[in-house]
A and B are shown apart, each in its own frame.
Chain A
Amino acid sequence: QSVLTQPPSASGTPGQRVTISCSGSSSNMGSNFVYWYQQFPGSAPKLLIYRNNQRPSGVPDRFSGSKSGSSASLAISGLRSEDEADYYCEAWDGSLSGPVFGGGTKLTVL
């Protein structure tokens, strides 16, 4: 059981806009930044969004993040087949004194 809650799956067609949600509590997302990671099968996670809505260099601007209260979303616009991957949200949890992750969302491009 993950501390942060994500839908197990999401899907969209090429060119579409897709959003992936992540919900937490006051001890984690409600009071700290949210981060998003992208993971392809058999590969390591890669930082996609940091501090709620910042993109590391090299991440396309098709990817965007937002946060409101104890919930956050990752949006992917102009969906491409190469976006098919698992996406994880993460935040610091003050009660647990450590980073916590969502269970991951498997994105399928139809």
Chain B
Amino acid sequence: VQLLESGGGLVEPGGSLRLSCAASGFGFGNYAMTWVRQAPGKGLEWVSAITGGGDNTYYADSVKGRFTISRDNSKDTLYVQMNSLRVDDTAVYYCAKGPSYSDYDWFDTWGQGILVTVSS
């Protein structure tokens, strides 16, 4: 089971970025997937989740209306489109696998993380 994030980098405040997470080693479409972030030197914060078929999406209040989670099960890939980025969105973003099709209350596998820096 492996998750590999990509797409991070430096972006100016107000800008946009799309992260990807390529999954392998499990039936991707059978599991909910999430994004969890960690600001430098800080703790973990759940960001967003999507059910196995992509039929339902969920967001933390801190990103609602700015981030959009999606998935392409034909490519075993998870995405998050991040718009109107703010300095406090600076963090390492991890994709993580939920325990079932619709549950995202815990995470049994994590990617290695990708750094997003929002700065002018």
Interface residues of A (CB under 8 A from B): 2, 32-33, 35, 37, 43-47, 50, 56, 88, 90-92, 97-104
| B58 nearest CB across to chain A (Å) | 7
Residues of A near B58 (CB, < 8 A) are 97-98
Is B25 an interface position by the 8 A CB rule? no
Check A102 against B43 for contact (C-beta < 8 Å).
yes
A-B pair count, CB < 8 Å, reads 55
Total B residues in contact with A, Cβ cutoff 8 Å: 21
A104 partner, pick from B44, B60, B106, B109, beta carbons under 8 A: B44
| B19 nearest CB across to chain A (Å) | 15
Check B104 against A99 for contact (C-beta < 8 Å).
yes
A84 to B39, CA, bound (A): 21
A45 partner, pick from B49, B60, B94, B99, beta carbons under 8 A: B94
Residues of B near A46 (CB, < 8 A) are 110
The winner among A37, A43, A98 for most chain B CB atoms within 10 A is A98
A46 to B112, CA, bound (A): 10
Residues of A near B49 (CB, < 8 A) are 98
Residues of A near B43 (CB, < 8 A) are 2, 88, 101-104
